[in-house]
Amino acid sequence: MKPQTGTGLANGKIILAGEHAVVYHEPAIALPIDAVYVKADIVSAKEGQTIQCELYTGDVNEMHTSMAGLQFAIREAFKVASTKEVTDHTFTLSIESTIPAERGRGSSAAVSVAVVRAIFDFLDATLPEETLWNIVQGAETISHGNPSGVDTATTSGTRPVFFQKEQELQTLHLNMPAYLVIADSGVTGNTKQAVQHVSTLQERIIDPTTQETGSDAVQSIGAIVNETKAAIEEQDPQKLGQLMSENHERLQQLGVSHDVIDTLVDTAHQNNALGAKVTGGGLGGCMIALVETEEDALHLQEQFMKQGAQAVWIQSLAKKENTK
């Protein structure tokens, strides 16, 4: 008898604009990135419920508490998609991810999205978007406490998301003749430390010349995000690049960039980039650069690797809805 199988895919994500300011009720924009992905495969087994992934191989019921969110997603998906008890299913679930962890790329949400999709496929059940959202948000709540929903929306979708605390997520149409080059600095970021640092600067002067405080910089980033949204809607890569660089300067003022990131940003500007910035929590992690042609993107990828980047990906910004 042929074994029962199921497969699920999910995108990675990056923050295009607004990181850190979003904590203070300013808007931000995130992009799905299919240059990195998670793939989950599930196959029926004679006995047991086994999971195989980079962090853990073993019984689903004995997963470490650090993986409680994923464990919830697995159990909840079976519960919703099947009329049988979760314990009545025997399977092996394999997870493959090219999304680097701890880099602000939506790794945990992407894993949950791929796994839920695989389980519904395995059970030949229809998966409404709302059901996927509810299960993955439940998993993210267990993993992170109070998730914004951005990672869930971007890793499960194909369109950019404009978001602001306590407001409904908006999806944007992106079809721009340009490429994003994403570089992993190789330095593990520290979002928690970066967020705490920014909070200490809110009432402090960070620019003696203008007398600007950290709070002023945060508000300025919010304005940049709104202009970024307009640049996306107008399909204007030149404007988008300029805004990315302005955003980076503000994040530098707030002390959440890193010397390695700044070197990569400088390299981008020296090699035809329209703009470049740190992305995500900062103090390491990843940076992004915008270029107009694939040739420029490939050249910049090579330059980043020469500068010591751990990995570099290229993402087209044209006709995003048509990608996987």
Please tell me the predicted confidence (pLDDT) of residue 102. 60
The total domain count for the chain is 2
On whether both 160 and 262 belong to a single domain, the answer is: no
Please tell me the predicted confidence (pLDDT) of residue 64. 92
Q: Please, which residues have CB within 8 angstroms of residue 171's CB and are 6 or more apart in sequence?
A: 153, 157, 159, 160, 161, 162
On whether both 167 and 32 belong to a single domain, the answer is: yes
On whether both 250 and 113 belong to a single domain, the answer is: no
On whether both 115 and 204 belong to a single domain, the answer is: no
On whether both 78 and 120 belong to a single domain, the answer is: yes
Q: Please, which residues have CB within 8 angstroms of residue 29's CB and are 6 or more apart in sequence?
A: 15, 16, 17, 18, 160, 161, 162, 163, 172, 225, 228, 229, 232
Residues forming a β-bridge with 13: 32
Cα(72)–Cα(54) distance, integer angstroms: 18
| Residue range(s) defining the domain that contains residue 131 | 5-171
Please tell me the predicted confidence (pLDDT) of residue 103. 58
For residue 311, count CB atoms less than 10 angstroms from its CB and return exposed for 0-12, middle for 13-18, buried for 19 or more. Answer: middle
* Sites in the chain below the pLDDT cut of 50: 321-324
On whether both 212 and 288 belong to a single domain, the answer is: yes
CA dist 290 → 162, 218, 232, 239 (Å): 19, 23, 13, 11
Domain end marker among 149, 171, 193: 171
Please tell me the predicted confidence (pLDDT) of residue 162. 96
CATH number at residue 80: 3.30.230.10
On whether both 271 and 293 belong to a single domain, the answer is: yes
On whether both 304 and 251 belong to a single domain, the answer is: yes
On whether both 48 and 189 belong to a single domain, the answer is: no
Q: Please, which residues have CB within 8 angstroms of residue 270's CB and are 6 or more apart in sequence?
A: none
pTM: 0.85
Residue-wise pLDDT for 36-51, tens only, equals: 999 999 999 999 999 9
Domain end marker among 122, 144, 171: 171
Domain end marker among 171, 193, 228: 171
Q: How far is CA 71 from the centre of its chain?
A: 21
On whether both 56 and 162 belong to a single domain, the answer is: yes
On whether both 237 and 314 belong to a single domain, the answer is: yes
Q: Which helix or strand (DSSP H or E) is residue 86 part of?
A: none
CATH number at residue 196: 3.30.70.890
